[in-house]
A and B are shown apart, each in its own frame.
Chain A
C-alpha cells in the first residue's frame, strides 16, 4: 500500500484556485521532492496534505486512511524554525514536548529525545535554549523534534530556505543520512531545483499557480550522494535542466 495517496486535490481561496487537480503517490521509504516556482501554491498543497487545511476538492490518504484533520503519525518541519520552536523550552524540552501527549513513559521519551538529538548532531546542545543556537542548529532541533515523534510521513515545507548556503548543504546531507537511519518517508517542498534533484528519489514538478503536477521525474542517482561529485554528474545536470525547462514553460 502507498504511504501517501493524493487524488484530484484542489484548493481555492475565495473562488480563486491555488491548487488544482493534483494527484500523486509516495511509497514507503521514498524521499519525494515537490518543486515549483515561488508562489505557485506549494505551501497550500502541503497544508492540505498535513490536514491543516481542508481541501476544496479531492482526497488525501495516509497508508490507506482518508486524511480528515491532522493525522496522528505525521510530522511537519516548517521553514520558519525560529517561529515553530518554543523559545522558553530547552532543545531537549522542545524535542520532548510533542511526545508528552502520546502516552509514553518518561524513560521512553528520554531515550527518543537522546536518539533524535544524536541523529542531528545536537546531543551537546540538549540543555541550551533555541536563542543560543544558530539558524541551522535551530532547524536541526525542529528536524529532531519531528524524528522523535516517529511519524510515518515527514513533511518538510521549504525547510532550508532561511539558512545560508553552507548550512543548507549540511542540512541536506543531514536529511539524507537521518532518513537512512530512521527509515523515514519524506515529502519535501522546495523552490530550489538543484536541491530537489540532490535529495529526491523522485521529483514532482509543479506548474505556475494554480499548482498542478506537470512532470514526475525519477532521480536515478546513486546513494550516498555527495555535494560535489553528485552535483557534477551528467544525470544531475540533465535532470536539473529538464526540471528548469518544465518550470519555465
Chain B
C-alpha cells in the first residue's frame, strides 16, 4: 500500500477521535489535541533525561542481559540432549510464571531500585529468546552438522559460524517478542516500584489527575514500542538478508 494511504488512515482516525472526544466531553478521555499539548510540554522537558532515558536504559539493560543469557543457554540446550534433559522441565515451569507476579518478590529483594526493574525485565524477557534459541539450534540441518564434522571445524567455529547463524531467524523472532515484553515490564515495574522513569511519571500524572499528561506518557510508550520494533526489524533485515532469497 502507498505510504500516504496509511498516513491518511491514521490522520482520519485521529480526526474521528478528536471529534468524538470533544463531543463526549469525558474528562478521562481528553481529545488528542489536548494530549499532544501535554506531550509537547512533557516530552522535551527535564523529564527526558530524568525519566525517558533511565526507562530506555532499563529496557535495554534487562533485554540485553536476557538476550545474552537466553541465546547462550538456548544454544547449549539445543545442541546437547543431556543438558536439555536436565533443564527442560525447570525452564518449562519457570517460563509459565507471569513475570509481573515476581515484581513484589524482586521489590523485597532489591528494594525500589534500578536493579529491581532490570531484573524484572530480564526475567520476563529471557524465555522467548531462550526457547527460540533452543528451537533454532536444534533445527540445524543434519547434513550441515555432518559437513562440519567432516571438515573438523573447531568448536567455536561450529557454534559461531554455523549454529548461531542457522538459528538466527528463530533467535530474532524471540528477540522481537522479548523487546515488546521488556517495554511492558518496564512500565509495570516503574509504576509500582520506581522514583523515576516513564512508568513512574505515568503513575504520578494519574495520581495528580493530570489526565492529558497521563495519556501523553501512554502515547510515548507506544511510540517507543513502535520505534524499537522498527529498529530491531532493520537490524534483522540486514543480519538475515541471506534467509530471504
Contacts and interface: CB of A to CB of B under 8 A. Distances in A.
Interface of A: 50, 52, 70, 72, 74-76, 78, 80, 83-84, 86-89, 97-98, 100-101, 129, 131-132, 149
B136 to A, nearest CB: 13
Of all A-B residue pairs in the complex, the 9 with the closest CB atoms, nearest first, are: A98-B151, A131-B245, A83-B143, A88-B242, A76-B150, A101-B154, A83-B141, A84-B147, A88-B165
B152 A101 contact: yes
Nearest to B141: A83
A75 B245 contact: no
Contact of A76 (B147, B161, B245): B147
A234 B143 CA distance: 39
B41 interface: no
B162 interface: yes
Contact of B150 (A50, A87, A131): A50
A133 to B, nearest CB: 11
B143 A84 contact: yes
Contacts, number: 55
A52 B149 contact: yes
Nearest to B239: A88
B245 A98 contact: no
B157 interface: yes
22 contacts: A52-B146, A52-B149, A52-B150, A70-B149, A72-B152, A75-B151, A83-B144, A84-B146, A84-B147, A86-B162, A88-B165, A88-B242, A97-B161, A98-B151, A98-B152, A101-B151, A101-B157, A129-B242, A129-B245, A131-B242, A131-B245, A149-B151
A140 to B, nearest CB: 16
A132 B242 CA distance: 10
B243 interface: yes
Interface in B119-149: 141, 143-144, 146-147, 149
A53 to B, nearest CB: 10
- Give the dominant DSSP class at B's interface: helix
B153 interface: yes
Given A75-B150, A101-B152, A149-B151, 12 more contacts: A52-B146, A52-B149, A75-B151, A80-B143, A83-B143, A88-B165, A88-B168, A97-B161, A98-B151, A98-B153, A101-B151, A101-B157
A78 B162 contact: no
A70 B243 CA distance: 30
Nearest to A145: B151
B170 to A, nearest CB: 14
Contacts of A83: 141, 143-144
Given A86-B165, A88-B165, A129-B242, A78 B143 contact: yes
Interface centre among A72, A86, A129 (most CB of B within 10 A): A86
A80 B141 CA distance: 11
A50 B157 CA distance: 21
Contacts of B150: 50, 52, 70, 74-76
Contacts of B161: 86, 97
A232 to B, nearest CB: 37
Interface in B149-183: 149-154, 157, 161-162, 165, 168
Contacts of B157: 97, 100-101
Nearest to B161: A97
A70 B157 CA distance: 17
A86 B165 CA distance: 9
Interface string B234-245: 000000001101
A27 B244 CA distance: 45
Contacts of B143: 78, 80, 83-84
